Amino acid sequence: MAKTKPGKKDLDSYTIKGTNKIVRPGDCVLMRPSDSDKPPYVARVEKIEADHRNNVKVRVRWYYRPEESMGGRRQFHGAKELFLSDHYDVQSAHTIEGKCIVHSFKNYTKLENVGAEDYFCRFEYKAATGGFTPDRVAVYCKCEMPYNPDDLMVQCEGCKDWFHPSCMGMTIEEAKKLEHFLCSDCSSDDDAKRSLNSFPVSPSIEAKDEDIIERLS
């Protein structure tokens, strides 16, 4: 069993300097970057410990933003999307600026309002190789892109696929006013069967039945 190093003790919590916010292992935090022009780093606190001088350190597991990954930011990445990496580090607790919440992708898509401290994660990222887990996801629309929760999509009442208004030659405003939507493939079918009065305006995260996938690696 691993022993705590001499002179160090594990802490159950840490109060962020200048605030009344309490951080505990398992919490997600915003950490001050060395370059003040950059946004704060996001990390999950794994362990909190203090040395004999009461200097508090945190062992963290970093989240990467898409632009920090090898592949860079892609069209389907959300503005608040993060990747949980396999990169661990030890930092001074004084670099913690605040707390945040990293939601699952499913829970994030259900938020009524996305706050400044709300993020989401649907992939784990291997920092050394640039690999992702999972390495493929369902794709939608005729552009065959994974779902970006920042983009409005509409569901075809015929085939049940989801489409970007722009890919269908519509503005977002026009799409929001629609009571019924049929994609170009289904619009030539018999309209008499269409009796639905409304349709949802964001896809659920469940993959489609069709085996259409987007490789990420």
Per the CB < 8 A criterion, the answer to whether 181 and 157 are in contact is yes
Cβ neighbourhood burial of 41 (10 Å; 0-12, 13-18, 19+):
buried
| Domain residue limits, the chain | 9-136, 152-195
Q: What is the pLDDT of residue 124?
A: 95
Q: What is the pLDDT of residue 17?
A: 85
The continuous run of DSSP H or E covering 177 comes out as helix 172-177
Q: What is the pLDDT of residue 5?
A: 55
Q: What is the pLDDT of residue 173?
A: 86
CATH code linked to domain 152-195: 3.30.40.10
Query: What is the rounded end-to-end Cα distance, in angstroms, of the chain?
Result: 37
Q: What is the pLDDT of residue 136?
A: 84
Residues recorded for the chain: 217
Does residue 165 sit in helix, strand or coil? Answer: helix
Q: Give all strands (DSSP E) within the chain, no chain letters.
A: 9-10, 14-15, 22-23, 28-31, 41-50, 56-64, 81-92, 96-104, 118-126, 131-133, 136-138, 154-155, 162-163, 213-215
Which of the four CATH numbers 3.40.190.10, 2.40.160.20, 2.30.30.490, 2.60.120.10 does domain 9-136 have?
A: 2.30.30.490
Residue at 105: amino acid letter:
F
Residue in this structure with the two tokens 């920042």, named with its chain if needed: 150
Per-block average pLDDT, block size 10, for the chain (217 residues)?
67 89 95 88 95 90 95 91 96 94 92 91 94 88 88 87 88 84 74 46 48 47
Cβ neighbourhood burial of 77 (10 Å; 0-12, 13-18, 19+):
buried
Q: What is the pLDDT of residue 11?
A: 87
Q: What is the pLDDT of residue 192?
A: 42
